[in-house]
Each structure stands twice: as C-alpha cells, then as structure tokens.
C-alpha cells in the first residue's frame, strides 16, 4: 500500500505536533513565582497575589519616571517599605541568614505617590524559586 507524499508529510507533522504537545504538557513552572507590570496614575497602587513562603522570600520592584513607593507584606502586615519613591528596590529575607520573619502569605505592593504616570514591575519569589 502506497501513500502520497502529502499524506506522509501530514502524518509526520501530526506525529511531531502530538509529541511536542505531550512534552509541553509535562513542562511548567516549578513554583508560582509572581511577576507583573502595571501602569499607575498618580495616587494609584497595585499589589501582587499573595504567595505562601515557609523559609525565604524575595521581593523586587522597578518603576519608571519619578518612581513609586514599594512595600512587602506578610499576612497583610507591612514588614518593610521604601521611605520615599524609588525606581528600583529589593527586599530579601532568609531563614539561613536569620532574617526570615516566619511562614505566611507574602505580597509586594507599589504606590504611585508622584505627580506623573509610572509603570511598575513587581516580582515576588518564595522558597525554592530563588
């Protein structure tokens, strides 16, 4: 039984596509690292989705223009913040360094306290993510 060249190519494409889909279905993030960029008008703020940390946490924030005020929260309570606007900020707490405040749900927030629009990028990583 002979197949046309077009039928053989179509079969090969389908087989390759199926193998690729199966391989990608098993791939995915090992954790729930949170990264998001948001445009903020003066007075607006944004927070990341809360993420559980059992032994370490790292928050990073970047802002354009005049910057933004950043803060890290644990279970809804501020544990650190910038004293004024900043264009780049990071906070890192680890059990290994004796600085980790304890297990809980962490989130990172930014507030535009300036007079012009800014774009903020927030990144939150916990436990094995860094």
What total number of domains does the chain contain?
1
Buried b (16+ CB within 10 A) or exposed e, 22-47: eeeeeeeeeeeebeeebebeeebebb
Residue span of the structural domain in which 41 resides: 34-129
pLDDT on residue 17: 45
pTM of the model: 0.75
pLDDT on residue 107: 98
Instruction: Tell me whether residue 111 is in a domain.
Output: yes
As a whole number of angstroms, the distance between CA 116 and CA 127 comes to: 36
What is the domain-level CATH number for residue 107?
2.60.120.380
Instruction: Tell me whether residue 95 is in a domain.
Output: yes
Instruction: Tell me whether residue 10 is in a domain.
Output: no
- What pLDDT tens digit does each residue of the chain (130 aa) get? 455 545 554 454 444 444 443 333 343 344 567 899 999 999 999 999 999 999 999 999 999 999 999 999 999 999 999 999 999 999 999 999 999 999 999 999 999 999 999 999 999 999 999 9
pLDDT on residue 52: 98
pLDDT on residue 33: 78
Nearest to 113, CA basis, from 62, 43, 66, 23: 43
As a whole number of angstroms, the distance between CA 124 and CA 24 comes to: 25
Instruction: Tell me whether residue 4 is in a domain.
Output: no
Instruction: Tell me whether residue 102 is in a domain.
Output: yes
Q: With contact defined as beta carbons under 8 Å apart, do 71 and 86 qualify?
A: no
Q: With contact defined as beta carbons under 8 Å apart, do 93 and 57 qualify?
A: yes
Report residue 130 as tokens: 């860094």
Instruction: Tell me whether residue 18 is in a domain.
Output: no
């Amino acid at each position: 039984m002979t197949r046309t060249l077009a039928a053989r190519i179509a079969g090969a494409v389908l087989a390759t596509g199926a193998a690729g889909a199966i391989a990608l279905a098993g791939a995915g993030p090992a954790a729930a690292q949170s990264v998001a960029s948001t445009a903020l008008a003066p007075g607006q703020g944004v927070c990341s989705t809360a993420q559980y940390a059992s032994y370490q946490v790292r928050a990073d924030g970047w802002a354009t223009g005049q910057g933004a005020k950043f803060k890290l929260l644990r279970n809804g309570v501020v544990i650190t913040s910038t004293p004024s606007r900043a264009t780049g900020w990071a906070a890192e707490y680890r059990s290994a360094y004796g600085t980790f405040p304890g297990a809980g749900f962490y989130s990172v927030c930014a507030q535009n306290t300036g007079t012009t629009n800014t774009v903020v990028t927030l990144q939150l990583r916990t436990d094995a993510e860094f």
